[in-house]
């Protein structure tokens, strides 16, 4: 059994509730994930309230994204203990999603969590941040550089807008934010905005062409806002459209496109191909300032998510909302796991008799990350790791190990590349035997 939110529709009507669910409630899939964090998105708000027919299969667990740890897998790319993230693919709409402590999905939908991120970081970014980087990448692909002029971001206080601003500012662009909450201008300035304008300037019906103002636009609103943004984009500029909070209509003309050569890019985050997703998450790991994530999100327990649907759709609050999904339910891994194919890295361990050695699994250095750092001396000899604070047989003489908290370990990425540090899941919060700290 596990806890989660279930949406049902029957003769009693449409309803969402927090309840205890059985494994039989999970849909078909080749990977089962222990969900640790999810984020609340506009589409989730629609699903929770029934304000729009987002959910098309009942009963269904909502939540269009999640981050967590693989529990079981029949997919060749994933193994128990892998940290993964999922966005879109119809999850939370036609396939049960991330607002529960368990999820079962197709392995092809998953992306490896970048080494720089913890699961909480991934959902602080969420589908909103993933969509934002797709928009930024579209403008970059168009050839727009920081020196070309201002970038307009509409819906600036929302999740996509907030992350887009943070990314663009770090990359050196001058960002103009359009918002209906001018009293929160200081918040937007803290994210890197150079100028704040009232969304009313763009929300009313406008002329087919206006004064050229923007080198590029990231629009999350649609309707008249998108039409006016296109009409005021400079010659040869580009607009990345990814939302419809203001309406799904597009009351524009062809004038910006045939007289100024403006390009309109549609940004689809739901069915984007896997290589593009991997590139997007790699860019987020490279370009996003993690020190600002606390400005972009607030946390709520999973049990309270149902109450947030109406407020979320009403635009109350700013940035994104993180849901703490895992509660007290964390993955318990089996005592042994077969190694992955391929040559082992320096320092990869294998079982050594009955000694409680730390089992690290070969992952080409990409997935070895968690809360405990194990430093292995670069010496010749058997490839074993030893936990010196546990009663056990003596380690091989050629191996010396130390254990330090992950957050205190410096230059982790460099050490991983040099095979001087490996990572295993911190056992302490799992309440599992220290002989199996995966």
Report whether 181 contacts 205 (CB < 8 A): no
Q: How far apart are CA 47 and CA 247, in angstroms?
A: 17
Local structure of residue 339 (DSSP, 8 states): P
What per-residue confidence (pLDDT) applies to 84?
A: 98
Q: How far apart are CA 23 and CA 352, in angstroms?
A: 36
Query: Does 416 have pLDDT greater than 90?
Result: no
Residue 108 CB contacts under 8 Å (≥ 6 apart), including other chains: 75, 274
Report whether 385 contacts 399 (CB < 8 A): yes
Q: How far apart are CA 420 and CA 406, in angstroms?
A: 14
Q: How far apart are CA 269 and CA 276, in angstroms?
A: 10
Report whether 160 contacts 220 (CB < 8 A): yes
Q: Measured at the alpha carbon of residue 409, what is the angle toward residues 368 and 295, in degrees to the nearest 5?
A: 90
Query: Does 146 have pLDDT greater than 60?
Result: yes
Report whether 214 contacts 144 (CB < 8 A): no
What per-residue confidence (pLDDT) applies to 320?
A: 60
Predicted confidence (pLDDT) per residue in 274-300, tens digit: 999 999 999 999 999 888 877 777 888
Q: How far apart are CA 124 and CA 66, in angstroms?
A: 10
- CA torsion 118→123→128→130, rounded to 10°? 40
User: Could you tell me which of 306, 434, 325, 272 has the C-alpha nearest to residue 69?
Assistant: 325
Predicted confidence (pLDDT) per residue in 147-199, tens digit: 999 999 999 998 899 999 999 999 999 999 999 999 999 999 999 999 999 99
Lowest mean per-residue pLDDT among 15-19, 106-110, 163-167, 430-434: 430-434
Predicted confidence (pLDDT) per residue in 39-80, tens digit: 988 889 999 999 889 999 999 999 999 999 999 999 999 999
CATH (residue range 2-113+291-324): 3.90.180.10
Provide, rounded to the nearest whole percent, the portion of the chain with pLDDT above 70: 71
Q: How far apart are CA 431 and CA 333, in angstroms?
A: 11
Asked whether the whole model's pTM tops 0.75, one would answer no
Query: Does 384 have pLDDT greater than 90?
Result: no
Classify 293 as helix, strand or coil: helix
Query: Does 344 have pLDDT greater than 80?
Result: no
What per-residue confidence (pLDDT) applies to 339?
A: 45
Q: Measured at the alpha carbon of residue 343, what is the angle toward residues 341 and 347, in degrees to the nearest 5?
A: 115
What per-residue confidence (pLDDT) applies to 295?
A: 72
Tell me the sheet residues that pair with 185: none
Q: Residue 391: which pLDDT band, with cuts at 50, 70 and 90?
A: very low
Residue keyed to tokens 């109350």: 316
Query: Does 425 have pLDDT greater than 80?
Result: no
User: Could you tell me which of 48, 156, 123, 83 has the C-alpha nearest to residue 363?
Assistant: 83
Local structure of residue 2 (DSSP, 8 states): E
Number of neighbours of residue 264 by Cβ within 10 angstroms: 18
Classify 336 as helix, strand or coil: coil
Q: Where are the domains of the chain?
A: 2-113+291-324, 127-266, 335-438
Q: Provide mean pLDDT across the span 368-379.
A: 34
User: Could you tell me which of 160, 54, 52 has the C-alpha nearest to residue 97?
Assistant: 54
Mean pLDDT for the chain overall? 78
Classify 416 as helix, strand or coil: helix
Local structure of residue 345 (DSSP, 8 states): P
Classify 265 as helix, strand or coil: strand
User: Could you tell me which of 53, 61, 55 has the C-alpha nearest to residue 100?
Assistant: 61
Q: Quick one: tokens of 305?
A: 């998510």
Tell me the sheet residues that pair with 19: 4
Q: How far apart are CA 383 and CA 361, in angstroms?
A: 12
Report whether 122 contacts 67 (CB < 8 A): yes
Phi, psi of 287 (to 5 degrees): -110, -15
Please determine whether the domains at 2-113+291-324 and 127-266 fall in the same fold group of CATH: no
User: For residue 171, with 0-12 CB atoms within 10 Å meaning exposed, 13-18 middle and 19 or more buried, which class applies?
Assistant: middle
Q: Quick one: tokens of 292?
A: 């600002």
CATH class of the region 127-266: alpha beta
Q: Provide mean pLDDT across the span 339-343.
A: 48
Strands 372-376 and 102-105: unpaired
Q: Provide mean pLDDT across the span 83-105.
A: 97
What per-residue confidence (pLDDT) applies to 294?
A: 72
What per-residue confidence (pLDDT) applies to 196?
A: 98
Q: Residue 321: which pLDDT band, with cuts at 50, 70 and 90?
A: low
Q: Provide mean pLDDT across the span 120-135.
A: 94
Q: Quick one: tokens of 168?
A: 């663009």
Q: Provide mean pLDDT across the span 186-213.
A: 96
Q: Residue 237: which pLDDT band, with cuts at 50, 70 and 90?
A: very high
Quote the radius of gyration of the chain (alpha carbons, Å).
24
Q: How far apart are CA 385 and CA 383, in angstroms?
A: 7
Q: Residue 91: which pLDDT band, with cuts at 50, 70 and 90?
A: very high
Query: Does 383 have pLDDT greater than 70?
Result: no
Provide, rounded to the nearest whole percent, the portion of the chain with pLDDT above 90: 63
Q: Provide mean pLDDT across the span 220-247.
A: 97
């Amino acid at each position: 059994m596990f806890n989660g939110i279930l949406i049902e529709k029957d003769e009693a009507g449409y309803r969402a509730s927090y309840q205890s669910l059985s494994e039989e409630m999970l849909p078909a899939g080749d990977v089962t994930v222990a969900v640790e964090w999810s984020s609340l998105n506009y589409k989730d708000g629609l699903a929770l309230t029934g304000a729009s027919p987002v959910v098309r299969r009942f009963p269904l667990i909502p939540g269009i994204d999640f981050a967590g740890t693989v529990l079981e897998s029949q997919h060749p790319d994933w193994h128990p203990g892998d940290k993964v993230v999922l966005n879109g693919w119809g999850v939370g709409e036609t396939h049960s999603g991330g607002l529960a402590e368990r999820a079962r999905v197709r392995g092809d939908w998953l992306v490896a969590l970048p080494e720089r991120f913890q699961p909480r970081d991934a959902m602080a970014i969420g589908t909103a941040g993933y969509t934002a980087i797709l928009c930024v990448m579209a403008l970059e692909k168009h050839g727009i550089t920081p020196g070309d002029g201002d970038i307009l971001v509409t819906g600036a206080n929302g999740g996509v807008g907030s992350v887009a601003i943070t990314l663009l500012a770090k990359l050196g662009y001058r960002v103009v934010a359009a918002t209906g909450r001018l009293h929160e201008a200081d918040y937007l300035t803290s994210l890197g905005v150079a100028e704040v304008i009232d969304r009313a300037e763009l929300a009313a019906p406008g002329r087919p062409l206006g004064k050229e103002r923007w080198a590029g636009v990231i629009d999350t609103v649609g309707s008249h806002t998108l039409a006016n943004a296109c009409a005021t984009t400079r010659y040869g500029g580009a607009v990345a459209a990814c939302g419809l909070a203001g309406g799904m209509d597009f009351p524009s003309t062809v004038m910006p496109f045939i007289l100024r050569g403006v390009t309109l890019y549609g940004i689809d985050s739901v069915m984007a191909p896997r290589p593009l997703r991997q590139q997007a998450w790699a860019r987020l790991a490279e370009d996003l300032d993690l020190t600002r994530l606390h400005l972009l999100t607030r946390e709520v327990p999973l049990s309270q998510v149902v109450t947030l649907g109406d407020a979320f759709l009403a635009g109350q609050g700013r940035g994104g909302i993180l849901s703490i999904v895992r509660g007290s339910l964390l993955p318990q891994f089996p005592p042994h796991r077969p190694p992955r194919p391929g040559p082992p890295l320096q320092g990869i361990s294998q079982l050594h008799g009955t000694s409680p050695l730390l089992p690290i699994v070969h992952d080409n250095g990409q997935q070895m990350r968690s809360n405990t750092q194990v430093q292995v001396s670069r010496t010749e000899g058997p490839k074993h790791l030893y936990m010196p604070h546990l009663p056990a047989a003596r380690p091989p003489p050629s191996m010396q190990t130390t254990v330090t908290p992950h957050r205190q370990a410096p230059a982790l990425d460099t050490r991983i590349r040099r095979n001087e540090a490996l990572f295993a899941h911190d056992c302490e919060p799992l309440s599992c035997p220290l002989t199996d700290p995966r």
